[in-house]
Structures are given as structure tokens and as C-alpha cells.
Structure 1
Amino acid sequence: MKIGEKLKKLRLSNSLTQEELASRADLTKGYISQLENDATSPSISTLKDLLDVLGVSISEFFAQSPELEVVFGEQRRVVASEEGGLKVELLVPGAQNRTMDPALVTLLPGEAMDEQPFHEGEEFGFVLAGRVELILDGKSHLVRRDECFYFPSDRRHQVRNPGKTPARILWVVSPPTFFC
């Protein structure tokens, strides 16, 4: 990655405008724009000033980024729970270090998850197969294949399969607190 691209990425990850970064580093907005477009190169002292504002050392800035893993196949799934007619597979290993926890939940006909206690965050589910009954604060909602649900996790919630075929749900919890 070019210096300008890296600077822009750091600036954006710090939620700074070009003008804000320029002001904090005692530079001009035009110069920041030129840097980010690789139209000019900074001196070492200017680069250090910019990186100080962005909270990154020069060695961190030039360190090679580890290869980012983005594709996770079936062999990488971790079975978090498998009891009776409920199976929960974590789809992305190491989700405790991430902001969300995607899982594949399979419920056999007539099976139900235990009611989940209140916790922080949000939950999203997309029914891939079958249908489920979402019970949220005592109110029942039928969710069919190709439909989804979304709710804040600070509510009592439970899911059961009222159908005659297995139900599969892509379930995402944020932050990771997985519900098994």
C-alpha cells in the first residue's frame, strides 16, 4: 500500500477530516490532499508529525500488515453447542475479538432454545430453511424462510421450531456474547 493510501486510511479510522488532520499537524488541507493522492511525499519529520496525530509510530506505519483472512469454509466452523435437537455452529473463529458473532443455528422440529437472559447488544436472524417462532418479551412472532428478525438483546427472547422440518437460522449477535 502506498504512503498516501495508508495515511488516508488512518485518518478515516480516526474520524478526522483532511482539514482537522492538517490543523492538528500544522499543515494545510491542500497538502494533506496531495499526500493522500500520492502527488507528493512527506519529509520524515512531517510524516512523524502526522503519525503522532494519528496515534501510530513510524515502525507501526511501515510494518507489514498480516494477511487478512476473509473466507471461512465449513471446516473452520466450531460447534458451540449440540444438545438434543439444537446445534449452534460458530461461523467465524475468534469472534470474541470481533464486534459481532455470526452463527448457524439448527433446530429440529418441536425443539426450542432456552429463554435467553437480558444482555447488551443486538441480535439479527435470517431463516435459511423451515420456520421459527421468535418469542420476544412473551409475544410470539412467526418467521418464515427468507424472512429475518432483529431486536435489542435487552429483552427476554427464545426461538423454537413449530414446523415439521428442521429450521436453520443465520444468527448474528453483537457484541459477541453467544447465547448458548
Structure 2
Amino acid sequence: MEIGNRIKNLRLSKNLTQEELGERTDLSKGYISQLERDLSSPSIETLFSILEVLGSTPKEFFDEEKGKQKVIYEQRERIFFEDEEKGYHIEWLVPESNEKEMEPVLLEIDPHGGF
């Protein structure tokens, strides 16, 4: 596992320089650079301090599934509902989406139907 690259990506996502991260964690810019290039390994305490400054938890940091979110779904994965009485059918294009997030759907309404 490349901890250094993950630290670097997290730091960059927070728009921090190595120097700024070092100041906030009481570490030198050089040490941050060594960590990001996997030339040095942080202690657990140091890693937790870095993660706290970067707004991440150890679980989030080490979660392998993060970043591997599926972005292409096949038609067979869609959830389909049809209401013949009202004259429409709807397909949920992303099966695991929910009401609190964007919910992409395909809605087809018959010429004299309603939703």
C-alpha cells in the first residue's frame, strides 16, 4: 500500500502545500516530502495527526473501496417500475442511489398518461 501517495492526494485535495501541512502537524516540510514519496514511514501517532489535519479518519484513509465506485451501469442492472393505469414507466439508472443523493431516472409517460 502506498501510504505516501494517499497522503499527497489528500493534501492536494485540501489545497495545502507540504509546508502548510508541516506547520499544522509540527512536522518539517522535508519529512512530509519523504512521507509522500514513501521514503519514510510515519508512526501511528504521526499518521493520525496528519489525517486529523486533512479531515480524514483512519477508516476513510485505508478504505480500499473508496475511489472504486462504479460509474457505468448496464441496462440489466436498472430497476424498472410500470404503472399501466396512470400510463408511465420509470427506470432507476443507478440501482444504489437514494433519495438523499442525485437519483438519475428515465421516465416515459404515455401520450395521455400522467405521473
TM-score (norm 1): 0.47
Percent identical among aligned pairs is 41
RMSD of aligned alpha carbons: 3.1
1:35-82 per-position Cα deviation (integer Å, ceiling 9, x unaligned): 223343323332222122234444x24454376333321222112553
Q: Which runs of 5+ in 2 are unaligned?
A: none
- Find the aligned partners of 1:10 and 1:80 in 2 and give their Cα distance: 41
Alignment-derived partner of residue 73 in structure 1: 74
- Number of residue pairs the alignment of both structures matches: 111
Alignment-derived partner of residue 16 in structure 2: 17
- Find the aligned partners of 1:11 and 1:33 in 2 and give their Cα distance: 11
Alignment-derived partner of residue 35 in structure 1: 35
1:57-108 per-position Cα deviation (integer Å, ceiling 9, x unaligned): 44x2445437633332122211255344422211111211763211122234
Change (3 A) 1:85 1:17: same
SS of equivalent residue, structure 1 residue 101: coil
1:5-33 per-position Cα deviation (integer Å, ceiling 9, x unaligned): 221333345x2412432221122344334
- Find the aligned partners of 1:91 and 1:29 in 2 and give their Cα distance: 46
- Find the aligned partners of 2:99 and 2:4 in 1 and give their Cα distance: 29
Q: Which protein has the bigger strand share?
A: 1
SS of equivalent residue, structure 1 residue 96: coil
1:103-126 per-position Cα deviation (integer Å, ceiling 9, x unaligned): 122234x34655xxxxxxxxxxxx
Q: Which runs of 5+ in 1 are unaligned?
A: 115-180
- Which structure has more relative contact order (CA 8 Å, sep 6+)? It is 1
TM-score (norm 2): 0.65
Q: Could you tell me whether the CA contact under 8 Å between 1:86 and 1:111 is conserved in 2?
A: no
Q: Which protein has the bigger helix share?
A: 2
Alignment-derived partner of residue 88 in structure 2: 86
Deviates more, 1:68-77 or 1:28-37: 28-37
What pairs with 1:103-122 in structure 2 (closer than 5 Å)?
103-108=105-110, 110-111=111-112, 114=115
